[in-house]
Amino acid sequence: MNSHFNPGCLPILIGSLPVTDHEEAVRLILAHTPEIPLWPQLPKLPKEGMVRQFLTGFPGLQENDNRCWIDTSNDSFEEEMVAFYEDYMRVEAEPESLENSRFSLGKDTAQGFFTFLDAISHHSFLALKGQVTGPVTTGSGITDQDGRSIFYDDNLRDMLVKLLALKGRWQVEQFRKHSSEIPPIIFIDEPAIVSFGSSGFMGISKEMVSDSVDEVIAGIQDGGGLAGIHICANGDWGPPLLSNADIISFDAYFYFENFILFREQLTGFLNRGGLLAWGIVPTGNSQVLEEITGDQLFDKWRQQLRVLADFGLGKKQLVKQTLIAPSCGTGSLSPKLAEKVLRLTKEVSKMARKEYVND
């Protein structure tokens, strides 16, 4: 659990943007979050979709007409599985082999990562942020050849978790080559985790969910990074708050009242040194976003801060453990509204720091 990073309301973003030019995306990011920039995901490009982007290297991966699935019926699938675990064991025994392994990101699915590295090569930052789609969201979003989500299959789920854990660790190792004061931050984008227990997740146990996410967290932390869980949905916040994550990113604009219902788990997380990325800038409703102002969002966040402080946590310490963020990525918005999200995130952070940090 994080014990040495006190962001004090600095701004941070979620990865997706509604553009198709990676250099343009990186320029926007550096202009609005110069302290903790991240590499961009551009879901308008088919291979940068949330589920597909981190699946390269998975045995049996098939693609056709912008659709992907896992084919376990192919005669070569068992050989591919054996090769996967051989590669995994090699990385565990020889960590330096991770660099050029199947667990690396590639330019065909994550060009934004490499464009970002080029842009930051001669600069220093407080921290660098990356992301990987979580095992629950990925595993429920990708199916086998029979249309069954792979999260239900023990063998496929195990390979998926290990793939994502090492893709997270690989990012950490790449970022550690660049100058920054704080360890690299990798968010696990996991909106599906709070839907656990709903009809769409019948047959999935709490242990399956928590063990899967914790293994990805461990992969990031074992590489020397800070692991965050980003959830833009509403549901059971207990498991994420009880996980080993260093940061929890949540939709503070629409779901703050639901979030604080988990008071015991929330106070425990914060008392352990966990950080909150308050998604106070709404991205899920274009009409709300068009009308909202930075002053209104700051007032809303300030009221929420008072509520949490009343839990006995102390406003001063809460501010230290706060990041200001959008509620989710902006990939589904218009470019104009997406840029407004970035601008508002920067504005609210500036107002919060002026009142509570730089006074």
Angle between helices 294-308 and 252-259 (to 10 degrees): 10
φ, ψ (nearest 5 deg) of residue 9: 75, 25
Strand segments, DSSP code E, in the chain are 10-11, 61-64, 67-70, 129-133, 185-189, 226-231, 247-250, 275-281, 322-326
CB of 186 closer than 8 Å to CB of 227:
yes
Q: Provide the pLDDT for residue 204.
A: 75
Taking only the tens place, the pLDDT of each residue in 247-260 is: 999 999 999 999 99
Q: Provide the pLDDT for residue 358.
A: 81
Distances (CA, A) of 56 to 52, 60, 61, 174, 309: 8, 10, 8, 18, 44
Distances (CA, A) of 143 to 149, 151, 188: 4, 8, 20
CB of 13 closer than 8 Å to CB of 342:
yes
Taking only the tens place, the pLDDT of each residue in 5-62 is: 999 999 999 999 999 999 999 999 999 999 999 999 999 998 999 899 999 999 999 9
Q: What is the pTM of this model?
A: 0.95
Residue numbers in the chain where pLDDT is lower than 50? none
- Please name the amino acid found at residue 94: E
In angstroms, the CA 68 to CA 52 distance is 7
Domain boundaries of the chain, sorted by first residue: 10-56+107-356
Integer Rg of the chain from CA: 20
Distance of CA 54 to the CA centre of its chain: 12
Class of domain 10-56+107-356: alpha beta
